[in-house]
A and B are shown apart, each in its own frame.
Chain A
């Protein structure tokens, strides 16, 4: 193993920050969900890297559960987007101000 495990954690942090910036700056609500997937993936990298460093497999089991939750989140979130589009005919986050006074 020539690459230190710390580099994988740095890469995980970079992807996490990119996903966070995507959630903040994006205006289309579908791409906000896509940025969420990026953040979930960065956590997966960190889990597997720590696992390999500590010689454990529990982190990889949590990667399974993250995959499951990501699938559930994508299904429900995209169902919500379709419902929002039917209601408002728009997917812009700035236009979804129903609760605003």
Chain B
């Protein structure tokens, strides 16, 4: 077993175990910590795949920036006292989810994968590197979606400020 396979099995096992705690864990702070663990393991999987830029961004954006939102809101909202999971949905969703997973796994392992070729072939990517290929494509072909993404972030920021604002502030302005 070489190092890459060892890394894959380690990262994937830890990611799945953390994800199970995210789904079924009782304490919400530990749930967020398990989410951070899952995100870091997924980032490690990106590194084993050879996508180093995406793996670094996964840690920077997901495991740092987005999780901070959740921690802030959890500290704002008082502790949730009710049941963690709903029993009657659990009975239905776990067998259904298991069947769905078997189906997805069957399609992934035995499906007829058509190997199409991308814009860059293997030789070009090996020559200029993965990150440079992504940057080139992002700022040429996908430039307009890139600008739209920045607009979406602006809209989301303004929307979050307006939605999350206290009612008293609105009355003071009016």
Contact = CB atoms under 8 A, between A and B. Distances in A.
Query: Which range contains the number of A residues in contact with the other chain?
Result: 35 or more
B156 to A, nearest CB: 3
A72 B101 CA distance: 29
B77 A38 contact: no
> Secondary structure of the B side of the interface?
helix
A98 B59 CA distance: 38
Contact of A71 (B4, B119, B134, B156): B156
B105 A49 contact: no
Contacts of A85: 76-77
Interface of A: 1-3, 6-22, 24-28, 30-31, 33-35, 37-38, 41, 44-45, 48-49, 51-58, 60-61, 63-65, 67-76, 78-83, 85-86, 91-92, 94
Interface of B: 2, 4-5, 8, 12, 15-16, 19-20, 22-24, 28, 31-32, 35, 38-39, 42, 45-46, 48-51, 53-54, 57-58, 61-62, 65-66, 69-70, 72-74, 76-77, 80, 82-86, 89-90, 92-94, 97-98, 100-101, 104-105, 108-109, 113, 115-122, 125, 130, 133-134, 137-138, 142, 145, 149, 152-153, 155-157, 159-161, 163-164, 166-167
